[in-house]
Structure 1
């Protein structure tokens, strides 16, 4: 399960679709509809929210908005509920880790998307901003998140 902290606009088609599916699975887990993945590390930051399923719903909404922008058809009715003001901190080193991970994936499967994503990252960084993040996250200084399996 990979629920990217990076902005959905950086994800290639495969990553965006996979992220949608995995976030739907996370929603099912947090609503108690499946017994698998209940202790998956990617869920920790959502479980810490007042309404974990609604926090994942807000995450899903961000993915769906990017899908809409690209002309994809992600079914909004699959999102059970959405917390209105989700704000989860994510560390800058976690974002850097994810960006390196995504670049490696893009270099293999979506070489044409790599310059698109790189240009967006470059624009953000040269303007003194952190890597672009999903709308529910805020970048804060720090190391790779302790829940990251590869850490």
Structure 2
């Protein structure tokens, strides 16, 4: 599961679609309607807020907004809290940098034409707030 901290606008097609699908899975985990992935470390940040379903709802709707801007049709009826406010989940600049490099390595192989669209400095998803710091404790990808 990769719930990208990066702004959805920098995700290539594969990453954007995967983020949507994995975000929907995360929503199911947070509602207790699936037995898989219940201990996935990337869910820690959503569980740490007062309203995890609002947080994942806002996150999913920001992914959907980017998909819509690109002409994709992601079904909003699958999101439980479509009008949820931003939860302001903190994400470190070190985490964002790691994810941008992780995405860059993937894009080089699967969609080299997307590579020029990747920024030099990573920016956070609208659901997150950038804070100084290293890689997040929940990250399991090799730096």
TM-score range, shorter chain: over 0.9
Aligned to 1:139, the other structure's residue is in SS state strand
Q: Residue 89 of structure 2 aligns with which residue?
A: 88
Distance 2:27 2:54 in 1: 8
Aligned-residue offset at 1:150: 2.5
5+ residue gaps, structure 2: none
Pairs aligned (count): 141
User: Is 81-90 or 25-34 further displaced after alignment?
Assistant: 81-90
- C-alpha offsets along residues 77-124 of structure 1, whole Å, 9 cap, x if unaligned? 10001431310110000001001100000000010001112xxx24xx
1:104 and 2:95 are equivalent in the alignment: no
Moved over 4 A (4+): none
Q: Residue 38 of structure 1 aligns with which residue?
A: 38
- C-alpha offsets along residues 46-65 of structure 1, whole Å, 9 cap, x if unaligned? 00111112210110000000
Alignment of 1:2-151 (within 5 A): 2-82=2-82, 83-117=84-118, 121-122=119-120, 125=121, 131-150=122-141
TM-score by length of 2: 0.95
- C-alpha offsets along residues 3-60 of structure 1, whole Å, 9 cap, x if unaligned? 0000000000000000000000000000010011000001000001111122101100
Aligned-residue offset at 1:132: 1.6
Aligned to 1:99, the other structure's residue is in SS state helix
Provide the aligned C-alpha RMSD in A.
1.1
Aligned-residue offset at 1:146: 0.3
TM-score by length of 1: 0.90
5+ residue gaps, structure 1: 126-130
